[in-house]
Amino acid sequence: IVAGVGPLAGLDLQQKIVSQTIAGRDQDHLTVLSVSRPYTIPDRTEYLLGQVAENPAYALAEQVRLLAQMGAQVIGIPCNTAHALPIWDVLLAEIAGCQVQLLHMITEAGRFLHEHYPDVQRVGILSTTGTYRAEVYPQVLAGVGFTAVTPPALMQESLIHPAIYHPEHGIKSCGRVTERARQDLLTGVAALQTQGAQAIILGCTE
């Protein structure tokens, strides 16, 4: 796991791996290698919005290579925004020749929807503004037959992104889902439903 993007997302992924592994004893579980070095990785949304110059792909690639050296065979990055093409394409180029399978989380989400929710046509997306503007989900979901539905730009900027990043009530800032963040995201869900969304993706990994 390339953890630290953010730290809560890495912990959440590891918990999901454990809870979804069929095991009757400690020894039946998968070996999980997790590296969390958040201070080395620039914020992905800030990069996509032009607020920082350094592409996070280089620091992400460093952690992928480190995990490969540790023996990892399959690697996931629990950060939706890291899968935006300006970051993802550079990351793939940086790890060329690295003998690991790097999962693409957005593609996996699309595959899961396609397999488990075949009657769904319109999928709502709540995400960071970086993921929103990069249109990461619309591009991937269109390839498997879904139409992505996103909030109006004003709602994205005034409610959804602050629910993630606001210094006083944002999920990343507070390390938990605050009541304010929850209510703002529920407002977003209701707006997406009025646009015909039949399923909702919470597209910020925390």
To the query of whether residue 174 is one of the catalytic residues in this protein, the response is no
Q: Which of 5, 204, 205, 206 is catalytic?
A: 204
pTM of this prediction?
Answer: 0.92
Residue 9: is its pLDDT beyond 90? yes
pLDDT on residue 205: 87
For 88-105, what is the mean pLDDT? 96
Spatial separation of the C-alpha atoms in residues 160 and 157, rounded to whole Å: 6
Residue-wise pLDDT tens digits, 29-69 = 999 999 999 999 999 999 999 999 999 999 999 999 999 99
* Per-residue pLDDT, 199: 97
Q: Is pLDDT above 90 for 95? A: yes
Residue of 79, 109, 125, 149 marked active site? 79
